[in-house]
A = this chain, B = another copy of it.
């Protein structure tokens, strides 16, 4: 059974248990759980780290964010750093070096073997937002003319330290990817079977320059565990595994939710006050400008409001409900775009549906507010004006909630980023305009 310890028990254990006991139990502890403890208490970090093996420290660093990787590594002597770096995986080393300046990076590169340093330099040359930027180079490659027995012997000799050996890649003498044999295929074949008899040649691979979020969606759609990354000559460069992809998808979802909510995609709940203000103030400025724009419409009609002051009471309802309806539509469209569910085949049908939603909900909400307006002001025309304004604004809301994200996507702007500003600006400006404009036309009946 699993060693069950609370976070605090684990922390005390790491700080106070005898060294040999820690060594005995450490394999039962997931590096992520220790990372959680290191994150909470910077002061105890060094004490805890000093009680762990270099291999285990490398495993913790593998799980950490790039900045944390550096902070943890810097707790150690030059010599120990070298051993830890040796035990780290290539993709995590690349993440770490990617955030350092040149002199810091060179110091760490100097701690690697020549071969590792060359490989990491190569990985660093790729765009970090592409498949090549997130791949690892620890994979097993075999030749077609090996038998299953020979493959097992080879694995027994070489694969102990390779994290992922569930897919064995078959390459030819030019390093070109010929196919794949899963460890399952090997484990369920007779020992004398030739690899060429069980190799699966129709292998899907990921081009090295594919956007990493697109990589994430591929994994999600097809349920892959591992995918090979190839260059334009179909040479095997590295592999991407599902656990790295889950992190990418999680970050992408956080990014979308943050952008829809008007905060910077990278804002962290544990960030500083300064970071939060930097994340939010630009967005608030943009919103202030659009709010002033909408208010200037109200300003134009001050004369009308002066005559029928109840207009001021009802006007936020028309604008606000339009904003809500527009936000609903854009939520569906933005998420549909992110999941690839909106395409040229269904785009027209979705537009007509959204106009329908605007019309039907506009009629229902318009009717309710018209009745309320009539009772408040005691004039049927007041109800008619607010009801029609509501209907018009909610139709505009759903149309703009549909069009804005699609146009932004066409312009290569993330629809999650700016859609809501545009849509609520439309619904505010037009909501005030429809309502106060109609009221101005019928001002004599309203007074």
For chain A residues 141-198, which have a beta carbon within 8 Å of chain B?
Answer: 152, 155-156, 159-160, 165-166, 183-184, 186-191
- Give 12 A-B pairs besides A225-B243, A262-B328, A316-B432 with Cβ atoms closer than 8 angstroms: A2-B203, A152-B191, A165-B187, A276-B353, A280-B361, A284-B321, A284-B325, A288-B365, A288-B368, A298-B316, A299-B376, A305-B309
Specify which chain B residues have a CB less than 8 angstroms from the CB of A283 in the assembled complex.
324, 328
Specify which chain B residues have a CB less than 8 angstroms from the CB of A152 in the assembled complex.
187, 191
Contact: A223 with B246, CB < 8 Å? Answer: yes
A68 CB to closest chain B CB (Å) equals 14
**Chain B CB within 10 A, most for which of A186, A188, A189, A256:** A188
Q: Is A52 an interface residue (CB 8 A)?
A: no
Known: A281-B364, A291-B317. A160 touches B187 (CB 8 A): no
For chain A residues 347-402, which have a beta carbon within 8 Å of chain B?
Answer: 349-350, 353-354, 356-357, 360-361, 364-365, 368-369, 372, 376
Q: Which residue of B lies closest to A250 (CB)?
A: B220
Q: Is A331 an interface residue (CB 8 A)?
A: yes
A335 CB to closest chain B CB (Å) equals 5
Bound CA–CA A310/B298 (angstroms): 9
Q: Is A111 an interface residue (CB 8 A)?
A: no
Bound CA–CA A342/B271 (angstroms): 12
Bound CA–CA A254/B257 (angstroms): 10
Q: Is A77 an interface residue (CB 8 A)?
A: no
Contact: B291 with A320, CB < 8 Å? Answer: yes
Q: Is A411 an interface residue (CB 8 A)?
A: no
Q: Is A269 an interface residue (CB 8 A)?
A: yes
Known: A225-B242, A316-B298. A332 touches B269 (CB 8 A): yes
Bound CA–CA A306/B308 (angstroms): 9
Bound CA–CA A269/B331 (angstroms): 10
Specify which chain B residues have a CB less than 8 angstroms from the CB of A190 in the assembled complex.
156
Q: Is A17 an interface residue (CB 8 A)?
A: no
Bound CA–CA A260/B332 (angstroms): 11
Contact: A327 with B261, CB < 8 Å? Answer: yes
Known: A2-B204, A220-B250. A40 touches B345 (CB 8 A): yes
Contact: A331 with B257, CB < 8 Å? Answer: yes
Specify which chain B residues have a CB less than 8 angstroms from the CB of A376 in the assembled complex.
299
Bound CA–CA A333/B25 (angstroms): 36
Contact: A257 with B258, CB < 8 Å? Answer: no
Residue A369 contacts which of B202, B288, B331, B346 (CB distance < 8 angstroms)? B288
Residue A280 contacts which of B298, B357, B369 (CB distance < 8 angstroms)? B357
A61 CB to closest chain B CB (Å) equals 14
Specify which chain B residues have a CB less than 8 angstroms from the CB of A361 in the assembled complex.
277, 280-281, 284
Contact: A324 with B284, CB < 8 Å? Answer: yes
Bound CA–CA A309/B165 (angstroms): 74
Q: Which residue of B lies closest to A152 (CB)?
A: B187
For chain A residues 297-322, which have a beta carbon within 8 Å of chain B?
Answer: 298-299, 302, 305-306, 309-317, 319-321
Q: Is A263 an interface residue (CB 8 A)?
A: yes
Known: A159-B184, A160-B188, A203-B1. A295 touches B277 (CB 8 A): no
Q: Is A287 an interface residue (CB 8 A)?
A: yes
Bound CA–CA A387/B269 (angstroms): 28
Contact: A166 with B183, CB < 8 Å? Answer: yes
**Chain B CB within 10 A, most for which of A250, A287, A342:** A287
Bound CA–CA A93/B317 (angstroms): 49
Bitwise interface map of A from 247 to 273 toward B, beta carbon under 8 Å scored 1, else 0? 101100110111011110001111011
